[in-house]
Amino acid sequence: MSPDQLPAVFLGHGNPMNALDRNRYTEAWAAFGRSVARPRAILVISAHWYTNATAVTAMPHPRTIHDFYGFPRELFEVRYPAPGLPELAEQVADVAHPRWVGCDTDSWGLDHGTWSVLVHAFPDASIPVVQLSLNAFEPMDYHLELGRALAPLRSDGVLIVGSGNIVHNLRAVDFDMPDSGYDWALRFDAAAREVLTRTPTQAAALDAHPDFAAAVPTPDHYLPLLYIAGLADTEPLVPLVEGHCAGSISMAAYQLGGVAPAPAEGAGAPGLPTGVPPVDSNM
């Protein structure tokens, strides 16, 4: 990493209730935010903008999207009024060439994969934020290579954040396991750590792991990791915080470049409020 490059980070965001909670994961996000030089802008690849094209938000004032239901009113009242940065959308399209990247001026905004982590990392919401969508029709290697193409942005004051979960199987959640994981979840998380801390570009090949189908039943939460792995190329990622919740969700976070803050201690991630069905929670 050159002296003028900003770090990049993958954050396991988990349950939207993390936006309101303080635990070892949210403390790690906050510590990361305090540890980096103030960026010109933040580019977020969130699991929750999983759509039929590659696009970036290009509105000057992106709305806060509450893309879930059944949660407490307090969560729906959260606003993250960060400005947008339309010129960054144009930069993303330029560095991604020859891949086509559309500019979304009015339909999306900042979903909870973005604001639930940024409310802790950058709570004053004064830094411009742009989201990059996940193209559901492209293979894993496309996302890895697009991540690599974004590298010049790091030298131009842009902090790149991937927000998802390495293990994310909502149909297997068990909130009687609030701070632990199933054996298959632990195995896949360990395999991912081995790759990410040694040869991160091999993260796209983890779909051959025997526990991949259980750990990643849908690709949306896994794909943001590939953007940070692509940026890393041959540089190892450093664990920022590790752990599991509800048996089938990894909360692991990884940092690329810079000096990672010491792992936070404290409580695990919150459970779902009573009455919220996990398969429909958009965690």
Whether pLDDT at 264 is above 90: no
**Least confident span in 182-196, 235-249, 251-265:** 251-265
The mean pLDDT value for 20-44 works out to 97
Structure tokens at 141: 């290697």
Whether pLDDT at 56 is above 60: yes
Structure tokens at 202: 């091999």
Residue 57: which of 39, 65, 123 has the closest Cα? 65
279 pLDDT band, cuts 50/70/90, is low
CA–CA separation, 6 and 8 (whole Å): 7
Query: Which residue would you say has higher pLDDT here, 66 or 259?
Result: 66
280 pLDDT band, cuts 50/70/90, is low
H or E element at residue 104 = strand 102-104
pTM above 0.85, yes or no: yes
Q: What was the pLDDT predicted at 55? A: 98
**Residue 124, C-beta contacts closer than 8 angstroms, at least 6 positions apart:** none
Domains of the chain by residue range = 8-280
Per-residue pLDDT reduced to its tens digit, 41-55: 999 999 999 999 999
Q: What was the pLDDT predicted at 36? A: 96
Backbone angles phi, psi at 245, to 5 degrees: -140, 150
Residue 162: which of 214, 228, 78, 68 has the closest Cα? 228
CA–CA separation, 128 and 180 (whole Å): 35
The mean pLDDT value for 78-82 works out to 98
CATH homologous superfamily of 8-280 equals LigB-like (3.40.830.10)
Per-residue pLDDT reduced to its tens digit, 152-191: 999 999 999 999 999 999 999 998 899 999 999 999 999 9
